[in-house]
Amino acid sequence: MQIIDGKKVSAQVKEQVANETKELIKKGIIPGLAVILVGDDPASRVYVNNKKKACELVGFHSVEYALPASTTQEELLALVEELNNRADINGILCQLPLPKGLDDNAVIEAISPLKDVDAFHKQNVGRIMIGDYDFLPCTPAGIMEMLHAYDISVDGKKCVVIGRSNIVGKPMAMLLLHENGTVTICHSHTTNLSEITSEADILVAAIGKAKFVTADMVKDGAVVIDVGMNRDEKGKLCGDVDFENVKDKCSFITPVPGGVGPMTIAILMKNTLKAAKMQNNVL
């Protein structure tokens, strides 16, 4: 069993981004990322701080808009429109979920597809579907980056994704399919779940239930990717996979923390760099 080290792979991605950013800065272009945070959700605050740190590390200009939970839909959309029109901002990210009373979808659709570095806009989602895209959603793209870093081929493999969210499950299935995996998506209505998962060569768990995937659900020698970020009964961070009992059956497995998490922010940096290049015609 080999641990897939997300911290190590994400450091490599960020180093590459930093090197390319230095070259861009020589041409007078500083990639800029705007992060919008509405309300005071502590988990969202942690994510936003991590994104700011990553921007500093790779040499980006970053701007944070911390808005009160009382912000109206009109105020939020007006801010997005202003950022769409700013040449110094190449990527716009609105931390989801938004407080009650605000419409996540309306905000996603308001962000220019050219600055949608989360790849949530319908236009970008459609382009991922047909395989002709500029940006990929950060978590699924981060997972593919890890598989490549460890020379894990998807071609011809049975791939099972547990979870069908627009942010992870669906795009994850699409990216595995683009690399010639045979993909099954499982969800809360799936019958015989463990029969399906135990045939997977590559198993991706993205459901948000602590230690849901147990050893009997995993095939010997499988590659297991754990997207979950939960707390166990002792309040300790854990994933969707029962790591201690599953790890000995795997050929590769991602830990929580230190697996998929760091990759998400690394890909966000990669997407923002690409947006800066595209908007300045230096691709």
Write out pLDDT tens, residues 8-22: 999 999 999 999 999
**Domains in the chain, number:** 2
Query: Is 116 one of the catalytic residues?
Result: no
Q: Does 73 lie in the same domain as 146?
A: no
Contact present, 246 and 214 (Cβ < 8 Å): yes
Tell me whether residue 276 is in a domain. no
Tell me whether residue 183 is in a domain. yes
Write out pLDDT tens, residues 107-149: 999 999 999 999 999 999 999 999 999 999 999 999 999 999 9
- Give the C-alpha separation, 140 to 171, whole Å: 7
Q: Which residue has the tokens 């071609």?
A: 155
Tell me whether residue 253 is in a domain. yes
Query: Is 134 one of the catalytic residues?
Result: no
- Give the C-alpha separation, 84 to 99, whole Å: 22
Q: For the residues 59-79, what does the mean pLDDT come to?
A: 97
Query: Is 73 one of the catalytic residues?
Result: no
Which residue is catalytic, options 95, 115, 134, 279? 95
- Give the C-alpha separation, 230 to 163, whole Å: 15
Rounded to two decimals, the pTM is: 0.95
Q: What is the CATH number of the domain that holds 74?
A: 3.40.50.10860
Which residue is catalytic, options 116, 118, 240, 242? 118
Tell me whether residue 283 is in a domain. no
Write out pLDDT tens, residues 195-241: 999 999 999 999 999 999 999 999 999 999 999 999 988 889 999 99
Tokens of 191: 């019958």
Cis peptide before 257 (omega within 30 of 0): yes
Tell me whether residue 167 is in a domain. yes
In terms of phi and psi (left: phi > 0; alpha: psi -120 to 50; beta: otherwise), the region of 192 is left
pLDDT number for residue 269: 98
Tell me whether residue 176 is in a domain. yes
Tell me whether residue 147 is in a domain. yes
Q: What is the CATH number of the domain that holds 201?
A: 3.40.50.720
pLDDT number for residue 50: 93
Q: Does 256 lie in the same domain as 155?
A: yes
Which residue is catalytic, options 51, 211, 247, 270? 51
Q: Does 191 lie in the same domain as 246?
A: yes
Q: Does 94 lie in the same domain as 37?
A: yes
pLDDT number for residue 47: 87
- Give the C-alpha separation, 227 to 139, whole Å: 8
Q: Does 146 lie in the same domain as 254?
A: yes
Q: Tell me which residue range forms the domain holding 157.
A: 138-261
Closest CA to 277 of 53, 137, 117: 117
Q: Give percent of the chain with pLDDT exceeding 70.
A: 100
Tell me whether residue 81 is in a domain. yes
